[in-house]
Amino acid sequence: MKKMRYLVFLLSFMCLNSLDNGLGITPQMGWNTWNKFYCNINETLIHDSIDALVNSGLVDAGYNYINLDDCWQKYRDADGYILPDNDTFPHGIEPLVEYTHSKGLLFGLYSSAGNYTCQGRPGSLDYEDKDAEVYAKWNVDYLKYDNCYNRGISSHIRYPAMRDSLNKTNHPIFYSLCQWGQEQVATWAKNVGNSWRTTGDIEDSWSSMIGIIDQNDQWYEYAGPGGWNDPDMLEVGNGHMTLTEYKTHFGLWAISKAPLIIGCDITKMTDEIKDILTNPEVIAINQDKLGEQGHKIKKTEIKYPPGVEPKLANAQLLVDDCNGHITQKWVMGINNTIRNNDENFCIDIPNCAEEDTIITTFGCHFIPNDFKCQENANQQWVYTEDKKIQSLMHFADNITRCLRIRNKPIPYVETHFCNESHSWEYNEAEKTFKAEGKCLSSMVDSIETWAGNLSDNTYAVLLLNRASVSSKIDFSLKDLRLNTSSKFQLRDLWLKKDIGIYDNTYSVYLDSHDSQLFKVILDFNEEEKEDDIFVQIIIMISLAVVIVISIGISVYMYIDNRKKNQGNNEEKDKLIDNDNN
């Protein structure tokens, strides 16, 4: 009996301390105001964007959330309830919610788990119950919950508090944690929210986009139906990347099962941008019911000819065979920075993450007040007597961190407890750090393979050329750890067509920053394929014969009619001659 009581108590506790809305079975799709409009929003813009989502075909493609980001709210009433900005939303929020619902769409709002939002509007910290009550009263369907002005209170306290308040309303609201990837949020957020940001804010640039998807990738094991890793909203269509880069951006978000939240002005989309955002076969990869996040399974540095060096940029830190490239040259710089080839890219802890995380190179910000992140400590390091590369940042558990190699499945570099981290041999003449026979490398120019399982027993695979030059990429079943003797069929998802059956290896040349996204099919009947081709040939020949016969009959009838008409005319001429005589 005591065991039964304990079990009932445990189940009750688990129910009370978990998200209970039944949402997020697949990654959310929709549109958000922030990336394009920032604080410059009003009810006319929202009304027009609702219409554009419907009329452009985006709704038919699966986008169904209309989300207002920061700046819709202005103050609280005397009882502490949140009110909209009556200058920009003079009719309030409820009419917009009703209009959204009348179009078959869902409506979302934004707040922050702090005293204020990031733009200084009223936040929800200590007002969780009142705000959740208002959202439910207005029939809001989605909440993006930011992390500004949080008074230093742990995310483990602030984000579950809003979850519990939302649960109490008995009104299902998709709960999107915008927590910036702090406190290893992916490892615990599935009981709290439907999605969780794993990174800082994205910008409309190749380096920002590719760096953010790298950060997101390390948490791939924690995503699945009901809860998704969120590398931030889409920048597709905002104008600062090429169409090729936007296609790669969208493909990476799709295979990574990231939320597909459009961030451009959808009232002014070009056809090329719309084609990217509405490709049904690419979206189907993102929305696949298995919900397995695709991830990076292979990464190879571009081998440049002698005398040609890659261009340095923001990049993930890995280890690779030592090759003497500038990507592997490091200089102890000013202010305890470690700079890539003494240029303006420093070893960096992204977003001042106060726990173990991947390491990148990022633009050095050691100028005072240039970037406040523990006074720039996220780019400050010391090379210790026992040859550790130790961070000078303060970490949440008060334990110092050093750099270590992690194989998962790409050998990348992360922060970890110093007593469990690697020792690095620094060669001052070669400017290299070496551990386990490999050199510390900022993998700027590389080719990659990303892959994930799908519910129909096929595989989604994305081949990516991160290099600044055209590059050849090979793919084989060995990359998926499958029987390499099997044949496989490929379907190009951007072209929406099958591209062939391959015995061993598929190779393709991709331009700089281009990618190819395809489905790998193993369970196919080659004989049926050959039969289908044979049948198609027979049909084509039959049609050709029918066409030739039809043309022949038409020509015969034409000639016959000409002869008959000629005979009739001769008969008429004879009759006329007889009458004249």
Which are the catalytic amino acids?
146, 201
CA distances from 561 to 178, 436, 553, 554 (A): 81, 91, 12, 10
* Distance (Å, whole) CA 92 – CA 77: 14
According to DSSP, residue 19 is labeled: -
Contact assessment for residue 240 and residue 202, using Cβ atoms and an 8 Å cutoff: no
Contact assessment for residue 251 and residue 49, using Cβ atoms and an 8 Å cutoff: no
Q: Which two tokens stand for residue 116?
A: 């204020």
**How would you classify residue 457: left for phi > 0, otherwise alpha for psi between -120 and 50, otherwise beta?**
left
* Distance (Å, whole) CA 564 – CA 472: 69
Mapped onto helix, strand or coil, the DSSP state of residue 213 is helix
Q: What is the CA radius of gyration of the chain?
A: 31
* Distance (Å, whole) CA 71 – CA 200: 19
Q: Which two tokens stand for residue 388?
A: 């550790």
Element spanning 435, H or E: strand 432-435
Between CA 444 and CA 452, with CA 450 as vertex, the angle to 5 degrees is 160
Q: Is 389 exposed, middle or buried (CB count within 10 Å of its CB: 0-12, 13-18, 19+)?
A: buried
